[in-house]
């Protein structure tokens, strides 16, 4: 590992006093590796019992485990099926403080690559809304794919700046996570490259950016709502100082002290409602977490809800992820006709390919669906205005209308259970066809014609279509194992 920056060490020594030596020597220890179980698909105990690789519980994360990096769980088919997410152990503490409840509307404002978003999605248990936003376009695509793999049906993914989101949506959310871009001091052990980019000027630049993002974040929070601010850095300028200044200028907010989920998470000396995670105090990297709550009594503007709750978000012929210039508008007869037409195609497809257990994916009310071009989505929050925003996923992608047929979406496959598909092909870990499926190969397969949900054990991976004894692979190209 390269040498730690001198100015960083000097500040940490002032901050930690007698503890500094322990902190310093923690850099001689290897970094920690964690994976978090997707409780929408399996319980932590059940995954652990499968003995895929050695797992050891993480004290502050009931669904988290340490693993030995030589096991390479990122290459296991269970990872492709969204059964777990690889996440740095300390980062798993943040959502404990956010504490999302099923049915609530949650915003993850700086969400890529999606560690905390996937965790929030599991906590919501398919009820309510997770809006996952990321400002960087390339990182938003990774975020969307990670969330597709996770298999929750109540997620919107956007690629927006926080101020545009605030302008368009207003105070719509019960809880907001701002996992802010930072100087990354807490990740020096995990990512030694971050050390080369570090400088006091970088810390100052990060701090002013964080204050700006926070200003937008609060405009999106409902009265009585909770905001969690987190970073993976130790610099007080990016942590306590941001929150203390914020509380001074926002009397409608108060700090919220919560009990620590485990030993080793230490209270911040200058902000008792915040916690610091240090690599010499626990088996994890560096993190900072602060919780503030908005008072419920004040008068705040209403969230900016859409005018029409039918297919008002229909973007007509515009491409998904291109901004539409109009504000929310009423559905035109031709848009409404197009939605009805594509819905009929979808329902016919669903009748053939799904069972009654997939009922939640086929609501009868049209207002639950959103159309972007030929793509049909199940929208978890039709009352929110999507037009004018850059949206990658306006909900669960059910599929795409093609001439005379409906092609099911990859995202839909990952949300289904084996019994909700008419034909489910379960491939065991050591079954050669599993590798072939993940490589995108097709093969001969006797059986009735129709769409087949293919999975590893009981965890769906994607679609194949059986026609006249040939199983054609529909696993998307950018998901395939090369």
Opening angle at CA 152, ends 399 and 363, nearest 5: 55
**Smallest separation (angstroms) from ligand SAM to the CB of 255:** 21
**Smallest separation (angstroms) from ligand SAM to the CB of 186:** 10
β-sheet bridge partners, residue 443: 471
Among 107, 129, 135, 155, binds ligand SAM (CB under 6 A): 135
Note whether 480 and 443 are within 8 A (CB).
Answer: no
Binding characters for ligand SAM, 195-234, by CB under 6 A (x = yes): --------------x---x---------------------
Long-range contact list for 342-347, CB < 8 A, 24+ apart?
Answer: 342/371, 342/374, 342/376, 342/401, 342/406, 343/369, 343/376, 345/401, 345/405, 345/406, 346/376, 346/398, 346/399, 346/401, 346/406
Distance CA 482, CA 477 (A): 10
**Smallest separation (angstroms) from ligand SAM to the CB of 148:** 15
Distance CA 291, CA 128 (A): 21
57's enclosing H/E stretch is: strand 55-58
Distance CA 78, CA 476 (A): 17
Of 206 and 339, the one with the shorter C-beta distance to ligand SAM is 206
Three-state SS for 482?
coil
Crossing angle (nearest 10°) for helices 200-219 and 240-249: 40
Of 128 and 184, the one with the shorter C-beta distance to ligand SAM is 184
**Smallest separation (angstroms) from ligand SAM to the CB of 34:** 12
162 touches ligand SAM (CB under 6 A): yes
Note whether 314 and 386 are within 8 A (CB).
Answer: no
> CB under 8 Å to 201, separation ≥6 — which residues?
none
139 touches ligand SAM (CB under 6 A): yes
385 touches ligand SAM (CB under 6 A): no
Q: What is the DSSP string of 244-261?
A: HHHHHH-TTEEE-----S
Q: Interface with ligand SAM by CB under 6 A: which range of 43-51, 53-61, 132-140, 149-157?
A: 132-140
Among 29, 136, 317, 344, binds ligand SAM (CB under 6 A): 136
DSSP class of residue 357?
G
**Smallest separation (angstroms) from ligand SAM to the CB of 306:** 24
Of 141 and 433, the one with the shorter C-beta distance to ligand SAM is 141
Of 147 and 386, the one with the shorter C-beta distance to ligand SAM is 147
Q: Is 182 a catalytic residue?
A: no
Expressed in angstroms, the distance from the first to the final Cα of the chain is 31
> Considering only residues 83-122, where is the footprint of ligand SAM by CB under 6 A?
91, 110-116
Binding characters for ligand SAM, 30-69, by CB under 6 A (x = yes): ----------------------------------------
> Residue count at the site for ligand SAM (CB under 6 A)?
17
Binding characters for ligand SAM, 179-198, by CB under 6 A (x = yes): x-x-----------------
Cis peptide before 97 (omega within 30 of 0): no
Binding characters for ligand SAM, 300-329, by CB under 6 A (x = yes): ------------------------------
**Smallest separation (angstroms) from ligand SAM to the CB of 119:** 8
Of 229 and 451, the one with the shorter C-beta distance to ligand SAM is 229
**Smallest separation (angstroms) from ligand SAM to the CB of 116:** 4
Strands (E), 83-196: 84-86, 105-108, 129-133, 155-158, 173-179
Choose, from 157, 232, 243, 396, the residue flagged as catalytic. Answer: 232
Distance CA 81, CA 47 (A): 13
**Smallest separation (angstroms) from ligand SAM to the CB of 113:** 5
Of 114 and 170, the one with the shorter C-beta distance to ligand SAM is 114
Burial 142-153, CB ≥16 within 10 A → b, else e = ebbbbbbbbbbb
Of 173 and 437, the one with the shorter C-beta distance to ligand SAM is 173
Q: Which stretches of the chain bind ligand SAM, using CB under 6 A?
A: 91, 110-116, 134-136, 139, 162, 179, 181, 209, 213
For the annotated catalytic residues, the residue numbers are 232
């Amino acid at each position: 590992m390269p040498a730690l920056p001198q100015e960083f060490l000097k500040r940490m020594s002032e901050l930690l006093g007698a503890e500094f030596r322990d902190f310093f020597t923690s850099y001689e220890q290897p970094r920690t590796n964690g994976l978090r179980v997707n409780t929408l698909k399996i319980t932590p105990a059940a995954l652990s019992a499968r003995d895929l690789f050695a797992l050891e519980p993480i004290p502050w994360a009931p669904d988290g485990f340490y693993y030995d990096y030589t096991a390479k769980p990122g290459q296991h088919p269970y990872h492709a099926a969204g059964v777990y997410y690889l996440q740095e152990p300390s980062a798993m503490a943040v959502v404990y403080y956010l504490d999302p409840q099923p049915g609530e509307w949650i915003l993850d404002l700086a969400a890529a690559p999606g560690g905390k978003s996937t965790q929030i999605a599991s906590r919501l248990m398919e009820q309510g809304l997770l809006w996952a936003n990321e400002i960087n376009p390339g990182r938003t695509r990774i975020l969307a794919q990670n969330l597709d793999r996770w298999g929750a049906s109540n997620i919107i993914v956007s690629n927006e700046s926080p101020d545009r989101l605030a302008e368009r949506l207003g105070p719509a959310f019960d809880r907001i996570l701002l996992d802010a871009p930072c100087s990354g001091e807490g990740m020096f052990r995990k990512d030694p490259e971050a050390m080369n980019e570090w400088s006091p000027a970088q810390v100052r630049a990060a701090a002013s950016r964080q204050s700006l993002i926070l200003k937008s974040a609060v405009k999106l929070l409902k009265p009585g709502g909770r905001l969690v601010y987190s970073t993976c850095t130790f610099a007080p300028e990016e942590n306590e100082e941001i929150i203390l200044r914020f509380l001074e200028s926002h009397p409608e907010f108060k700090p919220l002290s919560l009990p620590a989920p485990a030993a080793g998470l230490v209270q911040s000396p200058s902000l008792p409602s915040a916690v610091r995670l240090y690599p010499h105090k626990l088996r994890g990297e560096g993190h900072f977490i602060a919780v503030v709550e908005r008072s419920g009594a004040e008068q705040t503007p209403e969230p900016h809800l859409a005018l029409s709750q039918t297919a008002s978000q229909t973007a007509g012929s515009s491409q998904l992820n291109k901004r539409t210039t109009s504000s929310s508008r009423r559905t035109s007869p031709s848009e409404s006709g197009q939605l009805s037409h594509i819905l009929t195609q979808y329902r016919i497809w669903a009748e053939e390919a799904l069972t009654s257990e997939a009922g939640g994916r086929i609501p009868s009310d049209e207002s639950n669906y959103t159309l972007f071009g030929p793509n049909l989505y199940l929208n978890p929050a039709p009352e929110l205005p999507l037009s004018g925003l850059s949206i990658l996923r306006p909900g669960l992608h059910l599929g795409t209308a093609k001439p005379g047929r409906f092609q099911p979406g990859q995202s839909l496959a990952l949300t289904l259970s084996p019994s909700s598909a008419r034909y489910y092909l379960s491939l065991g870990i050591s079954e050669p066809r599993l590798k072939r499926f993940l490589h995108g190969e097709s093969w001969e397969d006797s059986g009735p014609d129709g769409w087949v949900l293919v999975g590893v054990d009981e965890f769906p991976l994607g679609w194949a279509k059986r026609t006249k004894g040939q199983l054609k692979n529909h696993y998307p190209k950018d998901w395939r194992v090369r």
